[in-house]
Amino acid sequence: MASQPSAEAQTTPRATRPAPASPAARGKRGTLRQFWLKQLYAWHWISAAVSLAGILVFSITGITLNHASSISAEPEVRIATGQLSPAALAALAKGADGGLAPLPAPVARQIDAEIGIIAGQREAEWSADEVYLAVPGPGRDAWASIDRATGRIEAELTDRGTVSFLNDLHKGRNTGAAWFWFIDVLAVAAIIFTITGLLLLQLHARKRPTTWPLVGIGTAVPVIVILFFMHV
Output the average pLDDT for the chain: 86
The average pLDDT across 136-164 equals 94
Those residues whose C-beta lies under 8 Å from the C-beta of residue 169, and which sit 6 or more positions away, are 57, 61, 138, 175, 179
pLDDT of residue 12: 47
Taking CA 197 as the corner, what is the angle to CA 192 and CA 201, rounded to the nearest 5 degrees? 150
Q: Alpha-carbon distance 12 to 18, whole Å?
A: 16
* pLDDT cut 90: percent of the chain above it: 62
Identify which of 47, 78, 59, 39 has the alpha carbon closest to the alpha carbon of residue 190. Answer: 47
Buried b (16+ CB within 10 A) or exposed e, 182-193: ebeebeebbebb
Q: What is the pLDDT of residue 1?
A: 47
Say yes or no to pLDDT of 10 above 60.
Answer: no
Q: Does the structure show a pLDDT above 90 at 230?
A: no
Residue pLDDT, tens place only, 19-32 = 555 666 566 666 88
pLDDT at 33 over 80: no
Q: What is the DSSP letter of 207?
A: G
Alpha helices (H) along 158-204 = 162-171, 176-204
Q: Is the pTM of this model over 0.85?
A: no
